[in-house]
Amino acid sequence: MKDYRFKLVAAVAVLAALTGFNSADAANVNITPLGAHKGEFCHLDRAMILEDPDGTRLLYDPGRTVAGPEDSRLGMIDAILVSHMHGDHVGDKTIAAEGTGGECAKPNFPNNALPNTNVVNIALAKNAKIVSGSEMPKYFASKLKALGGDPTNSQLVRFGASRKVGGVTITTVPAVHSNGIAGGMIEGELGELLNAAGLTAYAGPPTGYVLTFSNGLVAYLSGDTGVTAEQDTVVRQLYNAKLVVMNIGDTFTTGPKEAAWVINNLVKPASVIASHANQPSTKNGMVIDGTRLDQFMKAVNVPVHTPLSGNTMSFNSDGNCVTGC
């Protein structure tokens, strides 16, 4: 029996060598940043599309740099992931189209997405799910219902649980940040009262995500966060994340120094995509010296990839970039 098994494994190995087949060719996860200016990493860029090898497409924190559901870069979207309710993540206003108006340092956001939010507008038009943690799903469900959509498209996944969309298993992990729903995202008197009092509505804790793709790649999307113990205990020890999308903006989240410490000492992935730098990080696609991105790259022990808008990066199951980086 053992001998038979050995022969079978050997035959498969020979076949794989002959056909040139390997997992890097057949089963990569494609990640495409959707920023304000094509080929650059600009001030408020957050949005990314993550596509599983089985074709499942997830849109992460569309924020202000996806020009609503009409943005031609979106294509089909199966689910939208929302780390928290701040306007630069859920989308309170948006660009008119990629590359239209404004500098990389100060993009124009002429389109008002309130009170619906960019997330809800995209979910309605694409019939996409919104997969979020905390108290956020109730808010999204009520918006979808009020706008004639399907409230069951807003789906809960709290810390410790998981939910599958296509080939991707999605869970949320704690982020240490804040997560109020602004008055402008709530219609009527309640919204006005909140604004007048300088208060926000409770949405529960903010989150990050851990995604397990069908090729085995595990990715951690940090969301807006400071350093958390779960980046060690849960993200690394339990899920063994090999790719990280890490927010580096400082003031609101870990800055480049703290984010690099998280990568080097807590998560220890194979590679990282920087995100949420809150300043123009590139010119003509090249990293600008002295920026947070530059500091982060110099401090991190593993390859750091720049999220240039529209540039698709492909990652294998080990978290290594195989094309596009």
Residue 309 Cβ, how far from Zn ion at the closest point, in Å? 17
Nearer to Zn ion by C-beta: 40 or 224?
Answer: 224
Nearer to Zn ion by C-beta: 88 or 92?
Answer: 88
Candidates 53-61, 109-117, 220-228, 267-275 — which segment interacts with Zn ion by CB under 5 A? 220-228
Using CB under 5 A as the binding criterion, the count of chain residues that bind Zn ion stands at 2
Q: What is the DSSP letter of 19?
A: H
Candidates 32-40, 140-148, 216-224, 294-302 — which segment interacts with Zn ion by CB under 5 A? 216-224
Nearer to Zn ion by C-beta: 56 or 253?
Answer: 253
Rounded distance, CA 274 to CA 129, Å?
26
Q: Helices (DSSP H) in the chain: which residue ranges?
A: 2-19, 23-26, 87-90, 118-126, 136-146, 188-197, 230, 256-261, 292-299
- Which residues are 60's β-sheet partners? 48, 81
Residue 117 Cβ, how far from Zn ion at the closest point, in Å? 14
Rounded distance, CA 40 to CA 272, Å?
17
Residue 86 Cβ, how far from Zn ion at the closest point, in Å? 5
- Nearest CA to 63 among 25, 90, 81? 90
Residues 145 to 184 in contact with Zn ion, rule: CB under 5 A:
none
Rounded distance, CA 194 to CA 60, Å?
28
Nearer to Zn ion by C-beta: 45 or 52?
Answer: 45
- Asked whether 218 and 237 are in contact (CB, 8 A), the reply is no
The residue with its CB nearest to Zn ion is: 224
- In the list 224, 231, 266, 297, the residue contacting Zn ion (rule: CB under 5 A) is 224
Task: Please list, in sequence order, all residues whose beta carbon lies within 8 angstroms of the beta carbon of residue 269, skipping any fewer than 6 positions away.
Answer: 220, 241, 242, 243, 244, 263, 302, 319
Candidates 101-109, 117-125, 221-229, 299-307 — which segment interacts with Zn ion by CB under 5 A? 221-229
Task: Please list, in sequence order, all residues whose beta carbon lies within 8 angstroms of the beta carbon of residue 226, skipping any fewer than 6 positions away.
Answer: 176, 177, 253, 254, 258
Fill in the per-residue mask, 87 to 116: x = in contact with Zn ion (CB under 5 A), - = not in contact. -x----------------------------
- Nearest CA to 140 among 113, 121, 158? 121
Nearer to Zn ion by C-beta: 224 or 250?
Answer: 224
Candidates 86-94, 162-170, 193-201, 209-217 — which segment interacts with Zn ion by CB under 5 A? 86-94
Rounded distance, CA 115 to CA 131, Å?
20
Nearer to Zn ion by C-beta: 179 or 320?
Answer: 179
Q: Which residues contact Zn ion (rule: CB under 5 A)?
A: 88, 224
